[in-house]
């Protein structure tokens, strides 16, 4: 089976879903002849034409407003938003229209919209292009949030998001576009609402998503040389959150460390930590630890950004400290 990159997996998912369902169409800036800022839509306009691969002005609010109307009439828009940071420009459409309409109309309409965009730091894209905003959207009832971490989940989660009857925020880490993995051709679906166990262990559970899952796996492999056994869980879906998978793991290991790229204060790691505290406190041998960003904007300077980012060494140190408690 040939290796597939993250960006190619996204393009495959879009092509396959557009071939499968004529209601699926794309909207976004420079997604047509240019192929998107990161080439994730390259060639799709040649297959499906400008009616289904729609170049738009640089207006996230206009794109999102058009998508709400299109979805309400039975279409399934996928919105290329470039960077997840700019979903702030269309929060009314996301928060007050898409997320609430199904509830407010008593289930009579669905708004199957996918907002897809890049997130995360590590590429010196500075404060406006490097944020991880999953916790912001997790606090809005009616939305689903997915965060793929490998080419296989890039494809499987995007296909699942397009088929879902709810509005979905699809967050793709820009530094995973060139990751390569064997990805089956055809119809593979990664279920929304399910964590994935990457590595079994007995001493501590490492919980993360996006690029941080690979970082945790790296730390776990390093610690295994010291005789420390870490379980690694890739969350994949922020909302709905698969708490049972996490609780099952921490009841076995009795320790947990949560790693994410958002600031620790108010990050989604706090929700996971609270869940463990409320439902598995009696099994824990040490307090839950969280690793993330300090409460400042992402710096542009490469040196400062690397200091700002979590790394495998910090995760390994946290595990050792946790085992000493």
Provide the b/e sequence for 52-68 (b: ≥16 CB within 10 Å). bbbbbeeebeebbbbbb
- Decide the pairing of beta strands 256-263 and 204-208: parallel
* 129 tagged catalytic: yes
| Sign of the C-alpha dihedral computed for residues 31, 179, 215 and 195 taken in this order | positive
Among 125, 128, 129, 260, the active-site one is: 129
User: E-assigned strands of 49-177?
Assistant: 53-55, 76-83, 114-119, 144-146, 168-173
d(Cα 216, Cα 114) in Å, to the nearest integer?
28
d(Cα 207, Cα 260) in Å, to the nearest integer?
9
- Decide the pairing of beta strands 144-146 and 76-83: unpaired
Angle at 88 between CA 83 and CA 92, to 5 degrees: 130
Per the CB < 8 A criterion, the answer to whether 172 and 154 are in contact is yes
* Catalytic (active-site) positions: 129
């Amino acid at each position: 089976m040939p290796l597939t990159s993250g960006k190619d997996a996204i393009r495959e998912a879009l092509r396959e879903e557009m071939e499968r369902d004529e209601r699926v169409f794309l909207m976004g800036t420079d997604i047509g002849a240019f192929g998107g800022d990161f080439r994730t839509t390259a060639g799709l306009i040649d297959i499906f034409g400008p009616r289904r691969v729609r170049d738009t002005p640089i207006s996230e609010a206009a794109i999102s407003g058009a998508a709400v109307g299109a979805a309400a009439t039975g279409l399934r828009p996928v919105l290329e938003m470039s960077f997840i940071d700019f979903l702030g420009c269309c929060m009314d459409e996301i928060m007050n229209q898409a997320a609430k309409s199904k509830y407010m109309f008593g289930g009579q309409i669905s708004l199957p919209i996918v907002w897809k965009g890049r997130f995360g730091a590590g590429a010196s894209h500075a404060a406006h292009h490097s944020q991880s905003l999953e916790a912001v959207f997790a606090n809005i009832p009616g939305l689903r949030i997915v965060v793929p971490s490998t080419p296989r989940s890039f494809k499987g989660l995007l296909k699942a998001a397009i088929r879902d009857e709810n509005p979905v925020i699809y967050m793709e880490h820009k530094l995973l576009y060139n990751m390569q993995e064997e990805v089956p051709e055809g119809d593979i679906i990664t279920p929304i609402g399910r964590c994935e166990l990457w590595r079994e262990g007995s001493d501590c559970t490492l919980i993360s998503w996006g690029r941080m899952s690979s970082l945790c796996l790296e730390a776990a492999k390093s610690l295994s040389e010291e005789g420390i056994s870490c379980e690694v869980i890739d969350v994949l879906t922020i909302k709905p959150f698969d708490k049972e998978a996490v609780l099952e793991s921490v009841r076995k290991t009795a320790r947990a460390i949560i790693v994410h790229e958002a600031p620790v204060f108010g990050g989604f790691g706090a929700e996971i930590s609270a869940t463990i505290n409320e439902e598995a406190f009696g099994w824990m041998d040490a307090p839950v630890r969280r690793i993330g960003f300090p409460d400042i904007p992402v710096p542009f300077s490469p040196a400062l950004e690397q200091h700002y980012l979590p790394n495998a060494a910090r995760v390994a140190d946290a595990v050792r400290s946790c085992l000493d408690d």
